[in-house]
Amino acid sequence: MTRVAQCHCGQLKANCVGDPYPVVICHCELCQRRTGSFFHVAAWFEKHKVTIEGEAKQFTRTIGDAGLSFTFNFCPECGTSLWWPAPSDSGAVAGKIGIAGGCFAEADFPAPTVSIYEKHQHAWIPTPEGVPSFKKGIQS
């Protein structure tokens, strides 16, 4: 099965084969600012299962306490940040590509498998039942 994630205007697309793993909810302040929402959801796919179409610009950020740099690819027309390769030292997701979960706009998209940076979680947002959760990154 192929799923397509796309930016707001539709010129930047990620065609993804199969199911993502992990699917990560992140409540950190950087993800809140990046998405303009109160948390983000990253769907991770093996690199070879993702084909990108369209033009992107890049923005690199370093996660403060984890020390990892992620380069986000966003649409120069509409600004949606769509995909980011995992840094090689990023443990569980190394070799994978993260795709903005909401950009699939599919109500039956696979549910989150982990929730991180809950120290920044807004009080009204529940953690899905049975999903492992962490105050910071996956190691903490």
Could you tell me the smallest distance in angstroms from the CB atom of residue 11 to Zn ion?
5
Q: Which stretch binds Zn ion (CB under 5 A): 13-21, 27-35, 66-74, 100-108?
A: 27-35
Report the site for Zn ion in 67-106 (rule: CB under 5 A). Answer: 75, 77-78
Are the CB atoms for 118 and 31 separated by under 8 Å? Answer: no
CA distances (Å), origin 138, targets 61, 70, 91: 19, 16, 10
Q: How far is the CB of 15 from Zn ion (least distance, A)?
A: 16
* Calpha distance 74→103 (Å, rounded): 12
Closest to Zn ion by CB, 46 vs 77, is 77
**Three-class secondary structure of residue 32 per DSSP:** helix
Binding site for Zn ion (CB under 5 A): 7, 9, 26, 28, 31, 75, 77-78
